[in-house]
Structure 1
Amino acid sequence: MASRKVRDEKLSVDKVAQEAGLNKYFLDRWVKYLDPANAAKVPAEFKEWFTSQARSESLEFIFVAASLAEKIEKIEVPEKGNKPAKGQNKPNSLMKAMVLDDNAPYRVPPAEAESRFLIGSAKQDLVEMRKELDSRKKKSPPQPPRAPVVSGAGQGMKVYIRGNPMTKGEDAPKGFLQVLATTTAPQPAPKDYTRLDLAKAISNPENPLTARVYVNRVWQGHFGKGLVNTPSNFGSLGSKPSHAELLDFLAAEFVKQGWSTKWLHRQIMLSSTYQLASDEEPANNKIDAGNVYLWRSSRHRLDIESWRDSLLNAADRLDTTMGGPTFNLHDASARRRTVYAKISRHELDGLLRLFDFPDANVTADKRTSTTVPQQQLFALNSEFMVIQAKAFAERIAKLGTTDEARVTAAYKLAYGRLPESRELELGLSFLKTPNKPEDKLTRWQQYAQALLAANEFMYVD
């Protein structure tokens, strides 16, 4: 019965629109807008209609609309997103109810405007203009380099009593944090203090904290663990430096070298400590099993960005182009470096989440490292791994005339070493075994995937 009633009403609207010369699209929106269920939501001009005995089925709303037409036509409606010009009144309740609200009788959503009201040559013109726009976008030059603004004044803040923003206390004058300030730190007048002044105070050579924190983060990137194992807490509640004098030396020299990150990388990576192997020594292991004093290299797993890039590089598919637009990791055939992948704060990509990429909504001073079955299932079954395995097998095929030569080349590319005799024997034995009917990959492609999915490819010794 309900569906029959709606159908009859629809026919009535169509009939009335035809007889009265009205647009049935807008008339239908009026019917829905003047439904008695909306009585509490409409502006004052419509109260008389809803207090009467009329009902939308009677279609008497046509006369109400006519009586309001003069008022509505005189309203100057600003374009959506534009603020009223100076001296112009803000949209009143009637304007919003008629045009701006989603259920407004005179509102036409852009998609419906195109499908319902754009006809003939106008529709074709829109298609041509869209083609022209797409063409110009493709031909447009890349965006010029940009940098964040570090200067500019803004309003000061008040002290919030007990941290409650609803309970404001005295003004907090602009300036560097007094609890951290030194007598030599630049202290301009509060009214002139800007973000540039703050940056200069933080990077002041006499401020030891900034350089120490930076050096510790770079060290952590190379060794998997910082000299201070709480990279965001150098206070009394944080960990003590394992090599305090080394940290002080590197921080002081880093500042002397003009805060050169390249110098810092070179200083660390050319050291004998960085070049140590991860081989165990029973005597040392008894004294320092956690390798706090760096008597060997600590084995650590590649982060997801480095691992994915290494897979692409082994398969000879890595696009090393610098800069440019981001890409979607859902595209298994994407070849760009992972650093250019799109990162969503609302829904982190499944690949990143699976391999311990940090929450994009908060800062992360270091990465956790988990081992779960889903990680190996990805290495065995994902489309991305299959694409790399096929490309790796194709690359290997060009590097030798015999299976033995190709296996040796595969180990050099994947692991940077020659295969041991047992590994070579297993590889050749596997490659000689004929494919099964249910196999989707060739023997070489399966072998290539096994090499790429192995732990040795993911871990750094």
Structure 2
Amino acid sequence: KAGNNLMLSGKIDRAQLYDKALTAEEIAISANGDFVSEAELVAKLRPEQKIVRERWKTEIARIDKELSKMKKRKVYAVRPSKAPVTHLLVRGSPFELGEEVSAGGVRSVTGSMPASFGLGPDAPDADRRKKLATWVTASDNPLFARVIVNRIWHYHFGKGLIQTTNDLGFNGGTPSHPKLLDWLAAELKERKWSLKAMHKLICDSATYRQSSQENTKALAKDSDNVLLWKRSISRLEAELIRDSILTVSGQLNKKMGGPGYRDFKMYNHKGSWVYDSTDPEGTEFNRRSIYRTWARGNVHPLLAPLDCPDPSASAPVRSTTTTPLGALSMMNTSFVLRMSRKFADRLKAEAGNDINAQVKRGFELAFMRSPKEEEKIIIEDFVKKNGLSALCRVLLNSNEFIYLN
């Protein structure tokens, strides 16, 4: 430091650390810079000492590698704390506090559970959450079971008995089959809140097992199929399209549980984390999409154009759009191109070099049927001109593959 100038800049030429306080004589000697380098010390070692040194260096490297794998990771959890007292705000102003309020339920919802939770204004977070869970799941809560079965119905049929799955209140829609909704809610309680039992009940029903065949008279009266006179045709969700591609190409890794896979790279840019999509290859990345690690703000080149929701926002109902970007992603992304080649390799391995057998096996895997005679003529000519991999890409892009019919 020169005077009061604290802004002098420079580079550190050498830093020296000692395990004891130096004497004045030792400090004077250290200032001369007459130090022996590591290379000079190694050169003076005897051969057997060098062997021992290398052995210990290898051992240190091994231990460092093991320690790097054992680094502590952050785990985010809720730590209960004493919540501050909440006040009504006069005219919504945070500077004008009104009377104190305590945690409680919605008074307009009937049931045996009172709206008041019986807690003080400063009750801890844990107590508030427990009371809320008990209040919501009360056996005679008329809304809880209805919301659950309506959402289950939505996932099986593409839309709920009340189409506004996130709003069953005054501003939401009205049920298309109110008695059915009430009966399903009662069945859920009767079956001890078993979601598995409800899935089985719905999937065994005649309504669920209907054909998607058109009926001219019914179509004229109910074009939106609100009355469920047929099975509605629906497109597979983005994640299921990816999983189906992996399945027919023979590349699906069926491993269950454990850590997920990452198909993105993350880096820090000016204090913010940025996520870039990648297309990593390998068995560990071919697991079902449910094991995909989600990065908020990351746009996947295949899933996003196929209407996979942004994980940073709630999506009670998925949109289904048909856009040029979605079609291009199914034709040209590196994942689809690679899986088309793998699909072709599978057909060659299972059906040999006969084009007829390859086409037949491809249809069986992709469409669960054999090709029609008119399809065979067109497809065989296509394969001869463009190759088997091109045909596999066509099969993966067909409506019959990506739509439930």
Residue 141 of structure 1 deviates from its aligned partner by: 12
Contact 2:105 2:135 in 1 (8 A): yes
Contact 2:207 2:228 in 1 (8 A): yes
Residue 181 of structure 1 deviates from its aligned partner by: 5.5
Distance 1:272 1:118 in 2: 82
Q: What corresponds to 1:363 in structure 2?
A: 314
Residue correspondences, number = 347
Return the TM-score normalized by structure 1.
Answer: 0.67
Deviations 1:71-98 (A, max 9, x none): xxxxxxxxxxxxxxxxxxxxxxxxxxx9
Pick from 66, 71, 80 the counterpart of residue 135 of structure 1: 66
Q: 1:378 to 1:393 in 2, by over 3 A?
A: same
Structure 1 position 336 matched with structure 2 position 287 = yes
Deviations 1:345-386 (A, max 9, x none): 234334332222223332121111111111111122111001
Q: What corresponds to 2:187 in structure 1?
A: 253
Q: What corresponds to 1:208 in structure 2?
A: 142
Report the 3-state secondary structure (helix = DSSP H, G, I; strand = E; otherwise coil) of the residue aligned with 1:194: helix
Q: What corresponds to 1:29 in structure 2?
A: none
Report the 3-state secondary structure (helix = DSSP H, G, I; strand = E; otherwise coil) of the residue aligned with 2:100: strand
Report the 3-state secondary structure (helix = DSSP H, G, I; strand = E; otherwise coil) of the residue aligned with 1:169: strand
Asked which structure has the greater RCO (Cα within 8 Å, sep 6+), the reply is 2
Q: 1:285 to 1:361 in 2, by over 3 A?
A: same
Report the 3-state secondary structure (helix = DSSP H, G, I; strand = E; otherwise coil) of the residue aligned with 2:99: strand
Structure 2, unaligned runs of 5 or more: 18-36, 39-53, 265-277
Distance 1:421 1:147 in 2: 60
Structure 1 position 422 matched with structure 2 position 351 = no
Distance 1:363 1:374 in 2: 23
How do 1:8-47 and structure 2 match up within 5 A?
none
Q: What corresponds to 1:385 in structure 2?
A: 336
Distance 1:133 1:267 in 2: 56
How do 1:36-75 and structure 2 match up within 5 A?
62-64=2-4
Structure 1 position 241 matched with structure 2 position 241 = no
Q: Which amino acid aligns with 2:365?
A: L
What is the percent sequence identity of the aligned residues?
Answer: 30
Pick from 317, 320, 323 the counterpart of residue 254 of structure 2: 320
Deviations 1:420-461 (A, max 9, x none): 22222222222233x5xxxxxxx0111111101112211111
Q: What corresponds to 1:268 in structure 2?
A: 202
Contact 2:296 2:312 in 1 (8 A): yes
Distance 1:373 1:130 in 2: 53
Report the 3-state secondary structure (helix = DSSP H, G, I; strand = E; otherwise coil) of the residue aligned with 1:429: helix
Pick from 373, 381, 394 the counterpart of residue 450 of structure 1: 394
How do 1:51-200 and structure 2 match up within 5 A?
62-64=2-4, 132=63, 134-136=65-67, 138=69, 154-180=83-109, 182-185=111-114, 188-191=117-120, 193-200=127-134
Q: Which amino acid aligns with 1:362?
A: A
The range that moved more, 130-139 or 146-155, is 146-155
Residue 409 of structure 1 deviates from its aligned partner by: 1.4
Q: What corresponds to 2:238 in structure 1?
A: 304
Report the 3-state secondary structure (helix = DSSP H, G, I; strand = E; otherwise coil) of the residue aligned with 1:370: coil
Report the 3-state secondary structure (helix = DSSP H, G, I; strand = E; otherwise coil) of the residue aligned with 2:350: coil
Return the TM-score normalized by structure 2.
Answer: 0.75
Distance 1:345 1:105 in 2: 43
Identify, as 1 or 2, the structure richer in helix.
1
Contact 1:309 1:318 in 2 (8 A): yes
Distance 1:150 1:202 in 2: 22
Q: What corresponds to 2:348 in structure 1?
A: 397
The range that moved more, 157-166 or 220-229, is 157-166
